[in-house]
C-alpha cells in the first residue's frame, strides 16, 4: 500500500508499506480522506517544530476518516463498509495522567504522526490503517471530508472547555487558519454573542466573514485595528489565540477586559508575554493542547448540524499529488483546509 512519508524538510515521498492486519480489538480501515494539519506542514517545511525534529522517516497525518474493511475477532458495534472518523489519540490508560482524567497528557501517548518520541509514532496518511475500536467514531450522515475534520474540531472544543462558559460572551479570535476558523464556529455554537477575528490575509478574512463573524480585521493593513476595543480597559471576555505569533498576542491585551481568559492554541515557537499588562488586568492565561473525549463530541455536533465544516475544506488532492497538496495547504491566500483523498 502507498504511504506519505517525510524524510526531512521538503523531502516528502510516496512509499510502499506492508498491508497491516487488525488485532482482536481492532479494525482495518481503508482511508478515504485526510486533512493536512499545521504540524504536518512544520514537518514538511522545516523538518519539525521547536525542539521536535524528524530523526527517522515518518508517515505523516492524523486528521483522517475511512471505511471499515475488516473486523478483529472480538470487535462488535462496527460493520464492514461503515464510515468512521479515526481519533489519532491513543493514550496508554495506565499512567498517572490517564488515571487523573487527563489522557491527552498521557506519559506514553501514541499520537499519529508525532516525532516527539523516538522511535516516532507513524501517522495515518496511508491507504490502509489499523485502529483500535476505541478510536473509531461512526460518521453516518457525514461525508468522508467532513469526518476528517473531527480532529481539528476536537482541538477547538477542548479550547472552549478551557475558556469556560461562552454564553453571552464577547470573543476575539486571532489567526484565521483552520483552527481559528473552527474556533469561530465553536464560539458561535457555544453561545457567544459577539465574535471578532483578526488575520493578515484577505482570503482567510473573507472566509471568517462567511462563517458569520461580527468583524474581520486585517491587522496587516490596519495594525491599530484592535485599538477601538481598548476603551474602558477593554472589551472581550475571551480570546482564542490561534496564530502562535507574539505580535498578535501583545496587540490583543489592551482589547481584553479585566478578568478575561486568554486561551493559547497557536504553536509558533516560544514567545515572550506582556506579563505586566496581563497581571494588571488579572487576565487568566490558559494553554490548550490536543483533546480526548471531545473527538466524539465533534462528530456528534457535525452530525446534528450544529457545526458545518463544509466551507473549510477548500482543496482535495490524490495521494500521488501529495507534494502539491502540502504546498497548497501552506498557501493562506487560497486554501483553508487541503485534504488528501485515498
Lateral strand order in the sheet of 236-241: 215-218, 194-199, 170-174, 236-241, 256-264, 284-287
Blockwise average pLDDT, block size 10, the chain, 342 residues = 97 97 97 96 93 96 98 94 97 95 94 95 98 97 98 98 97 97 98 98 97 97 95 98 92 97 88 92 96 96 97 97 98 97 96
**CA 120 to each of CA 1, 123, 334: distance values in angstroms, whole numbers, following the listed order:** 20, 9, 32
Does a structural domain hold residue 295? no
162 & 145 share domain: no
179 & 267 share domain: yes
The reported pLDDT for the residue numbered 268 is: 73
36 & 143 share domain: yes
- Rounded Cα–Cα distance for residues 340 and 103 (Å): 28
Of 198, 183, 191, 218, the residue nearest 309 (C-alpha): 183
Does a structural domain hold residue 298? no
Domain count, the chain: 2
Does a structural domain hold residue 302? no
141 & 7 share domain: yes
Does a structural domain hold residue 10? yes
pTM equals 0.96
The reported pLDDT for the residue numbered 270 is: 79
The reported pLDDT for the residue numbered 34 is: 98
Question: What CATH number is associated with residue 267?
Answer: 3.40.50.720
The reported pLDDT for the residue numbered 313 is: 98
Of 85, 21, 63, 58, the residue nearest 300 (C-alpha): 85
The reported pLDDT for the residue numbered 179 is: 97
167 & 186 share domain: yes
79 & 186 share domain: no
136 & 238 share domain: no
Contacts of 122 (CB under 8 A, 6+ apart): 58, 59, 112, 113
Give me 286's grid cell: 490558559
123 & 164 share domain: no
The reported pLDDT for the residue numbered 269 is: 72
173 & 271 share domain: yes
121 & 19 share domain: yes
The reported pLDDT for the residue numbered 51 is: 87
The reported pLDDT for the residue numbered 201 is: 96
51 & 82 share domain: yes
The reported pLDDT for the residue numbered 271 is: 83
Q: Name the residue range of residue 258's domain.
A: 156-287
Amino acid at each position: 500500500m502507498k504511504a506519505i512519508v517525510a524524510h526531512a524538510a521538503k523531502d516528502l515521498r510516496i512509499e510502499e508499506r506492508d498491508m497491516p492486519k487488525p488485532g482482536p480489538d481492532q479494525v482495518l480501515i481503508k482511508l478515504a480522506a485526510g486533512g493536512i494539519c499545521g504540524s504536518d506542514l512544520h514537518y514538511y517545511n522545516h523538518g519539525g517544530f521547536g525542539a521536535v525534529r524528524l530523526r527517522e522517516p515518518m508517515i505523516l497525518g492524523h486528521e483522517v476518516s475511512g471505511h471499515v474493511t475488516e473486523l478483529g475477532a472480538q470487535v462488535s458495534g462496527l460493520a464492514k463498509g461503515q464510515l468512521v472518523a479515526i481519533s489519532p489519540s491513543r493514550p496508554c490508560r495506565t499512567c498517572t495522567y490517564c488515571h487523573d482524567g487527563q489522557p491527552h497528557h498521557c506519559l506514553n501517548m501514541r499520537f499519529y504522526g508525532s516525532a516527539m518520541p523516538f522511535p516516532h509514532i507513524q501517522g495515518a496518511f496511508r491507504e490502509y490503517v489499523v485502529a483500535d475500536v476505541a478510536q473509531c467514531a461512526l460518521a453516518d450522515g457525514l461525508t468522508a471530508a467532513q469526518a476528517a475534520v473531527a480532529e481539528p474540531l476536537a482541538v477547538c472544543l477542548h479550547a472552549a472547555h478551557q475558556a469556560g462558559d461562552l454564553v453571552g460572551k464577547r470573543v476575539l479570535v486571532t489567526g484565521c487558519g483552520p483552527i481559528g476558523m473552527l474556533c469561530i464556529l465553536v464560539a458561535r455554537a457555544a453561545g457567544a454573542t459577539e465574535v471578532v477575528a483578526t488575520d493578515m490575509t484577505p482570503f482567510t478574512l473573507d472566509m471568517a466573514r462567511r462563517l458569520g463573524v461580527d468583524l474581520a480585521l486585517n491587522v496587516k493593513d490596519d495594525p491599530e485595528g484592535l485599538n477601538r476595543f481598548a476603551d474602558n480597559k477593554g472589551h472581550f471576555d475571551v480570546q482564542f489565540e490561534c496564530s502562535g505569533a507574539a505580535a498578535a498576542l501583545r496587540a490583543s491585551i489592551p482589547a481584553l477586559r479585566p478578568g478575561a481568559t486568554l486561551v493559547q492554541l497557536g504553536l509558533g515557537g516560544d514567545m515572550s508575554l506582556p506579563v505586566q499588562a496581563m497581571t494588571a488586568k488579572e487576565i487568566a492565561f490558559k494553554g490548550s493542547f490536543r483533546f480526548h473525549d471531545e473527538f466524539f463530541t465533534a462528530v456528534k455536533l457535525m452530525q446534528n448540524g450544529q457545526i458545518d465544516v463544509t466551507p473549510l475544506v477548500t482543496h482535495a488532492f490524490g495521494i500521488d499529488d501529495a507534494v502539491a497538496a502540502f504546498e497548497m495547504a501552506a498557501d493562506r491566500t487560497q486554501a483553508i483546509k487541503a485534504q488528501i483523498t485515498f
